[in-house]
Structure 1
Amino acid sequence: MAEKTAPADKVFPFLDKFLKVPPTERSRVKLSYAIRQDGQMMPNLKATLVEKSGARTPLPINAEGYFDRLPTLAQLQGDATLILDVPADMKLGTAMNFGTQLKPAAEYDARELTATVNEANTVIGKAAGPMSFMAPKMTGIVFPKAEGGTIVFADGHTAPLPEAKDVPFFRPADHQGAVRVKLTKTPTKVGFYDGKK
């Protein structure tokens, strides 16, 4: 079967800029990539990174459709090629997701959520460089499938967690003095919120 090949830096846009930000400055955030066909994820696809030297590195794609491993900065800068186990003429696209390193839990330290949002915007700004004014700005954290939640403040009073399209979210700028976020249910994942309200 014919394979589809593509330059690695085209399949993983922005990854080189992200990797140039020192690891200690991006410990709370991550980039995820998926191959899509007609907007659909392609789980368990076989992908191999081939470097100019001929070195081959498998880049497994998990059951959700995301790459489990990404190329290193050196591999991206070395004009590596990605080989996908699909027909050469198949039209494919890449989906990029900028996410948090936060694990799903029923309760969070509000300071950690705030630090994650702040770090995300710092990383986006550094990686985007002169184009940072066009880059998205993260304003908070969302908790899909958590059903609801409560914000606990330093003085002991509480407030309900706001929701957007039935998804609870926490925006540090709106809740100064928050110390904990308690959720009704553990979320399926924890992502960024870039809404203004």
Structure 2
Amino acid sequence: MIKKLLFITCITLGIANGTYAQKKFTPGVRGGLSLSTITNAEADYKADFYVGLQFPIKLVSFYTLQPELNYTRQGAKNANLQYVKRGNGYNEPYQSVSEDINLSYIDINVINKFSFKDFNVHVGPGFAIMTEGKSKTEFYGDLTLNLGVGYQVTDHLGIEARWRQGVVRVVDKDYWFYTDYWYNDDSFNSSFQIGLTYTF
């Protein structure tokens, strides 16, 4: 998967280099507030930040291909990710432990941006590499789907809001009943981002 992503990134950068003289290539920065949680964990939202670089290539008047490299802080507050276990006796109560989860990722996104005058719509996949935190699965990363909208305030300054949904499980949450029956309830990253962009 990483090799495929690097191949796509190289192709994208090659397109940018080859079309620089003909198409509008305007690199920039982006950053703002990240509100994140972990699904199926009875968790509260965690407020943190994201910051990154964007490399938009305006191919036609209404379409921009925008590779991104971001640093995103995520996680959740009061997430119930521990085992929920019943004791030896049938009348003993269930037990659960809630904890704050702090996660950080390096994100490589390939965003398709469709412009309608000053408004724009974003959609695209991403690959996230965990740099902080502890996964409770064997995979320390995530694949994401990014959906968002933006508004260009000036030629250089814009505002945007984006929903970022992970599609690879972050943790395994297991419920145990008695001593021999259990089922899984996988949990995923989910975050809402709102911030500013500035192109040079």
TM-score range, shorter chain: under 0.3
Bigger relative contact order (CA 8 A; separation at least 6): 1
Pick the structure with more strand per residue. 2
TM-score by length of 2: 0.20
TM-score between the two structures when normalised by the length of structure 1: 0.20
Point out the structure with max Rg over C-alpha: 2
